[in-house]
Chain A
Amino acid sequence: MSENQNPQTQTSTATTDTDQPLTTTTGETDERTRDEWTDYEFRGEAKMTVDDLDVYYGDDHALKGVSMEIPERSVTALIGPSGCGKSTYLRCLNRMNDRIKSATIDGSVRFDGQEIYQDGVNLVELRKRVGMVFQSPNPFPKSIRENIAYGPKKHGDLDTGLLARLLNRSDAEERDRLVERCLRDAALWDEVSDRLDDNALGLSGGQQQRLCIARCLSVDPEIILMDEPASALDPIATAKIEDLIEDLAEEYTVVIVTHNMQQAARISDQTAVFLTGGELVEYGDTDQVFEDPHSERVEDYITGKFG
């Protein structure tokens, strides 16, 4: 199935009004029991606004009425125990859950004010603008250079054609400039600049993950979603990724799922805590959540009393 088509898995009713949620179930929110600590007023502009988002996998209610705003150019961490729905939530932000046939998604996700859950959304374009980095590094079995250039080439971004020809400049020059910029932005250039044609699978795990981040940057995203990007890495590689994430947040909006609470505390500006049952229990400035959480359940979870 082409990703450009409205996926069958989505149960929404189509609407062309970009400011309207796709579907809402009247009265359902009022009946839910939810902690009151999610009304977080952050500073700055919302890059993404999620409103009353529910996700079901078949009969399993994986995410329950989640509403939150994600500020631009900052790091938002999603933490919580296994099975709490944080990865499900992350995947809703660029409609990756559409690929799961049993998934039913209900609610609204607006990106720069535009509803992403509506008919006619170009999912390829959406996922270019909302990139994703996964838990295990997954470089293509190609050269380092080709890993970076693959996306722009596929999307046609390098086919500047006419201008390049008029300037008598080959696309290769354009491509190499892009490769260097992305590798520099991903703090990998100094380590690989002399072996760009080597196979990417020969890089260490940490280098592969930074290559995947560079690859993600190559299509010029605005938001970068990261699903436990450092969980398979050693402490040194983890530190490099964490530094990189903080640097990226100067230009991009980063949303990161992590099991490592100290990592969330170190690198994020705001933290959302999901607890078992798919509830967003608390959302606030990271220092507030880790020094003085409002919710007792969150306190118990982050101090290790939650069994």
Chain B
Amino acid sequence: MPREHYQDSLDELRSDVLSMGDLVTERLGDSLAAVERRDESLARAVADGDDEVNETYLALEDRCVDLFALQQPVAGDLRFVTASFKIITDLERIGDLAVNLANYSLAARETVAPEVAIDAIGAASRGLLERSLAAYETGDAAACRAVAAGDDEVDALCQRASESVTRELIAGTDDDGWAAERLLDDVSRVLLTVRDLERIGDHAVNIAARTLYMVENDPELLY
């Protein structure tokens, strides 16, 4: 087969994007554990580890640019490099959101906000991320569409959680002033947590959308 080195560099890119995916998935898992267990040291480790994610992102971005400039990929190769170039941006953003989650957990002391199913939403978002990366690895178009459908479930969980927190906030204003103020802080934090988990789901859908474009040249999920 001609252009063996070029083919090797494409294989290497795929493998390294998946490694970045593993790294970000691990960080997301750690941040969710930090939220759930209020584990301060784990939360700090996630925040401190963001540089590694960013450096990985920049190195892969360079790799994609080099492939465009030096190898001029076309057809399926072009779609693969283009999709990978976009997917690493989504992974980097998920890394940032994992840091946000970790920081929220650091800010949370003794919460008076209502218990919402953060762990369930987190598990669902993380599940979407894992499934989108698996679809990228295997080039599975059906799995890409399933990720997009799965995001509806995450959105619904987030919606319910937000409504529940808001109702609690309204009810809390009848209490003493100090409780309402504490509640407001907690509510804001919980709502931000829910929002970031929802965004993680959206990024997972982006990964699936780019993968579907890569596999079938189908822009169906892009917008």
Question: Counting CB contacts under 8 A, is B79 at the interface?
Answer: yes
Question: Can you name 4 extra interface pairs (CB under 8 A) apart from A291-B74, A303-B75, A304-B6?
Answer: A304-B1, A304-B2, A307-B1, A307-B2
Nearest Cβ distance between residue B77 and chain A, in whole angstroms? 5
Nearest Cβ distance between residue B47 and chain A, in whole angstroms? 41
List the 5 closest A-B pairs by CB distance, nearest first: A304-B3, A292-B217, A290-B74, A303-B77, A299-B75
Q: Which of A290, A293, A298, A305 has the most CB of B within 10 A?
A: A305
Question: Counting CB contacts under 8 A, is A121 at the interface?
Answer: no
Residues on B facing A (Cβ under 8 Å): 1-3, 6-7, 72-79, 217
Question: Counting CB contacts under 8 A, is A302 at the interface?
Answer: yes
Measured in the bound complex, the distance between the Cα atoms of B59 and A264 in whole Å is 31
Nearest Cβ distance between residue A242 and chain B, in whole angstroms? 15
Within A128-146, the residues touching B (CB, 8 Å) are: none
Nearest Cβ distance between residue A262 and chain B, in whole angstroms? 5
Q: Which residue of A lies closest to B10 (CB)?
A: A303
Q: Interface residue tally of chain A, by bracket?
A: 10 to 19
Measured in the bound complex, the distance between the Cα atoms of B74 and A261 in whole Å is 10
Measured in the bound complex, the distance between the Cα atoms of B2 and A302 in whole Å is 11
Measured in the bound complex, the distance between the Cα atoms of B212 and A292 in whole Å is 13
Residues on A facing B (Cβ under 8 Å): 261-262, 265, 290-293, 298-299, 302-307
Nearest Cβ distance between residue A68 and chain B, in whole angstroms? 21
Q: Which residue of A lies closest to B3 (CB)?
A: A304
User: A290 to B78, Cβ gap below 8 A?
Assistant: yes
Q: Which residue of B lies closest to A306 (CB)?
A: B2
User: B72 to A303, Cβ gap below 8 A?
Assistant: no
Measured in the bound complex, the distance between the Cα atoms of B2 and A306 in whole Å is 7
* Contact residues in B for A261 (Cβ distance below 8 Å): 74
* Contact residues in B for A262 (Cβ distance below 8 Å): 72
From B6, B7, B75, contact of A290 by CB (8 A):
B75
Nearest Cβ distance between residue B97 and chain A, in whole angstroms? 32
Nearest Cβ distance between residue B120 and chain A, in whole angstroms? 40
Measured in the bound complex, the distance between the Cα atoms of B7 and A291 in whole Å is 17
Nearest Cβ distance between residue A156 and chain B, in whole angstroms? 47
Q: Which of A292, A302, A303 has the most CB of B within 10 A?
A: A303
Q: Which residue of A lies closest to B72 (CB)?
A: A262
Nearest Cβ distance between residue A8 and chain B, in whole angstroms? 42
Q: Which of B3, B72, B76, B77 has the most CB of A within 10 A?
A: B76
